[in-house]
A and B are shown apart, each in its own frame.
Chain A
Amino acid sequence: MRFMKTRILLVDDDPVYTMIMRKSLQMQNISAHCESFDNGLSAVEYFRERYNEDELNLIFLDINMPILDGWGFLDRIENFASPENVGVIVVSSSVNEKDVQRSKSSRLVIDFLIKPVLREHLEMLSVKINSRYSTTLFKTRRD
């Protein structure tokens, strides 16, 4: 593993969904540090302060949030974050193709998951993350 540490950010204004995501990630047996935020602005401020190129940052990002939405969050971290060590997974209830296309325009977004995020979705995501960042952070069925 080439990263010294892995940080996971859950950015969603729905506390129930944050709890569900935490439980689902637990199921994947990940040991990463996990922080949650209920709006984009507090997540940007936290992330900017702690951003370190030696750490892998995985951000599960909702779109529709108060104060600063998911698109605003992405715009702000684009200025300093690198796709080498930052992967954003958009997690939204939206089934609108426009949202999917818009998320693809960001160099940091690695996937778009439509809520509810089920075990099989996370397993597919695990394969993608392990291969992209040469890590075994997520335990897949093959592991």
Chain B
Amino acid sequence: MMIQNSFINCDYFTENINAGISGIQFVLTEDFEEAQSLISEGREFDAIAIDLSDDQMKWNDIKFQINILSEQAPLVVLTSERHYCKVSEVLPSGAAGCLIKKTATPGEFHNAILCTEKLSRLQAAKCASELRFKQLFNSYPTMIFICDPETGKFLDVNESAIDQLGYSYKDFLSKKLRDLSSSLRGKALLLREWRSRDENPESITQIKKFKAKNGEILDLQVVFLPFSIGGKDVDMLLATNISSKIKQGRIIEMQNERFDNIAWTQSHIVRAPVARLMALINIFKNGLIEEAERELILDNIYAAAEEVDEIVRGIALASQNAREN
């Protein structure tokens, strides 16, 4: 795979190599993101060449990119004479070879790949450990996002994030945190916001709304962890989807509200005429009424009994209607 990474065309270099070594098939990509996307789709390459001869390069990003790519295949960096020293500084030891793009011969290119391959094997133990980490990273059920702390740009995500939010790996790499969660920023920005509001920067667990690719809004509990990849500080965000928990909580609240309503109805509506009946019968029994009031009390007893009957019928009807609806 040949990563052009600049506006300077690499055709001269690839033709030159093809002229000297037959059977090499170059797959050209425009930038690091496109290369990462091909790798994440399962494409395998015998070697990766990356062109770092552009004057507009951001060296911190390049260091990170080279670290990631050198784990995938023998990596050869092509650069200009002017940038050679600078590029050498950012190369991980033994994981990448470096050639001057204009003057590199097919033989030098071949040797660089062989040399890188050999040195890479010496680092197999280290790579195995990193591979285990990568496997753990991808198989971890919690969503993990690696982001640029300044810009909030996604640098890497695990499979759980892809499965649960529905975006492809390439989608993620083209987005920033705020594209998925309007109020969520990189930690550096968050810390600045917190400090400006005199809030505690230590409390970095937040519940945020995230937009999944299908448009669904999910409630995610997000924890920020400081992390470093290849010497570059990044934000690691662990996110758990708690939408169903919140939904269940709301259902329980609604149920409790219904129970409260039932308790209120039973206490104030159903029990009122029952209590009146009991009190009327009680004064009747205790002989507290005069002969003239006797008829009035009996009428009230009957009215209270009718009221109970009406309420019970009403409850039965309401319950039947609720079941049918």
Residues in chain A within 8 A of chain B (CB atoms): 14, 16-17, 20, 23-24, 26-27, 63-64, 92-96, 98-99, 114-119
Contact = CB atoms under 8 A, between A and B. Distances in A.
Contacts of B289: 23
B300 interface: yes
A15 to B, nearest CB: 9
B131 interface: no
Given A93-B274, A96-B263, A116-B276, A20 B283 contact: yes
Interface residues of B, number: 21
11 contacts: A16-B276, A16-B304, A20-B283, A64-B268, A93-B268, A93-B271, A93-B274, A95-B266, A115-B279, A116-B276, A119-B282
A64 B266 CA distance: 12
B125 interface: no
A118 B282 contact: yes
Contacts of A114: 275
B162 interface: no
Interface-central residue, A16, A23, A119, by most chain B CB under 10 Å: A16
A92 B279 CA distance: 13
Nearest to A69: B268
A118 B260 CA distance: 28
A93 B267 contact: yes
Contacts of A92: 267-268
A26 B290 CA distance: 13
B264 interface: yes
A115 B272 contact: yes
A95 B283 contact: no
A20 B268 contact: no
A115 B271 contact: yes
Given A23-B288, A116-B276, A96 B267 contact: yes
A92 B263 CA distance: 14
A115 B276 contact: yes
Contacts of A94: 264, 267-268, 271
A95 to B, nearest CB: 6
B286 interface: yes
B288 A27 contact: yes
A64 B276 CA distance: 14
B264 A93 contact: no
A110 B276 CA distance: 23
B278 interface: yes
Given A27-B288, A115-B275, A20 B280 contact: yes
A17 B283 CA distance: 11
Interface string B277-302: 01110110010110000000000100
Contact of B279 (A20, A26, A27): A20
